[in-house]
Amino acid sequence: MAANPRIASLPLRLAQPATISVLIADDHAAVRRALRLLLEGEEDVRVVAEISDVATVVEHARKHQPHVLVLDLDMPGGSSIHTIGRLRMYAPETHVVLLTMEESPVFAQQALAAGASGIVAKHHSDSELPAAVRAAALGRVYVSPAIAARLDVLRAAQSEDRLSAREVEVLRLIALGFTSVEIARQLHLSPRTVESHRAHITGKLGLTTRAELVSYAIARGLLETHPDDT
């Protein structure tokens, strides 16, 4: 059964504005055009500007003061997650909906901790982005179903097994059969750092072989296929 989108209430706005102003930040022109067409097809949404690099996000948000910033996670010119934190200083009324190809719960957890109001899987933006924008404008949090399900698994492992978010992600990839070099590439780490995480995982769990790690990952639900995986 497909998980429901995660929408949590935060006491930031009491009423949705009559027209939601949106700033779009994505480094691909074709994607920006598609997002603009999608959002401006909604009667209550108006796109105020488009930008192509993360370095100017804060500047444009400060200028336009949009209700919602739709921000691509992977943009050139800096860290999108770091930008969310900076935005709180210069456009405190602007809520951020993050678009991502990364369904890793680690990145999602970091984004929510930084203050993101929404996380939408990019390949489901057509069906999910308008709802996420409206939720953000109301001061609520929206997380795509597949990402929300992974977050639940991540939090369970963190609380019950004392694993860090990064260790959970490394464990999942080990169980899926990836090498340290491949894991390092996916998570933007060095192979040595991956090996260090692996040592911490085996030490905390008391497991040594890959077969034991796979069994543990299966029991924890780390390898479950979610609706968006197919």
Residue 135 tokens read as 């939720």
User: For residue 67, what are the contacts with CB-CB under 8 A and spacing of at least 6?
Assistant: 17, 20, 21, 22, 93, 94, 95, 136, 137
- Per-residue DSSP letters for 127-179? HHHHHHHHHHHTTEEEE-HHHHHHHHHHHHHHHHH---HHHHHHHHHHHTT--
Q: What pLDDT score does 151 carry?
A: 84
* SS3 (DSSP) at 67: coil
Instruction: Give the start-to-end residue ranges of the domains of the chain.
Output: 6-148, 162-229
pTM: 0.70
Rounded CA-CA distance 60/173 in Å is 38
pLDDT reported for residue 4: 52
Q: What is the pLDDT of residue 10?
A: 43
User: With left for phi above 0 and alpha for psi between -120 and 50, is residue 115 left, alpha or beta?
Assistant: left
Identify the CATH number of the domain defined by range 162-229.
Answer: 1.10.10.10
Tens-of-pLDDT digits for all 230 residues of the chain? 444 555 554 444 446 678 999 999 999 999 999 999 999 999 999 999 999 988 889 999 999 999 999 999 888 777 788 888 888 888 999 999 999 887 777 788 888 988 999 999 988 899 999 999 999 999 999 999 988 888 887 787 777 778 888 898 899 899 889 999 999 998 889 999 999 999 999 988 888 888 888 888 888 777 764 434 43
Could you tell me the CATH superfamily of domain 6-148?
Response regulator (3.40.50.2300)
d(CA 25, CA 73): 9
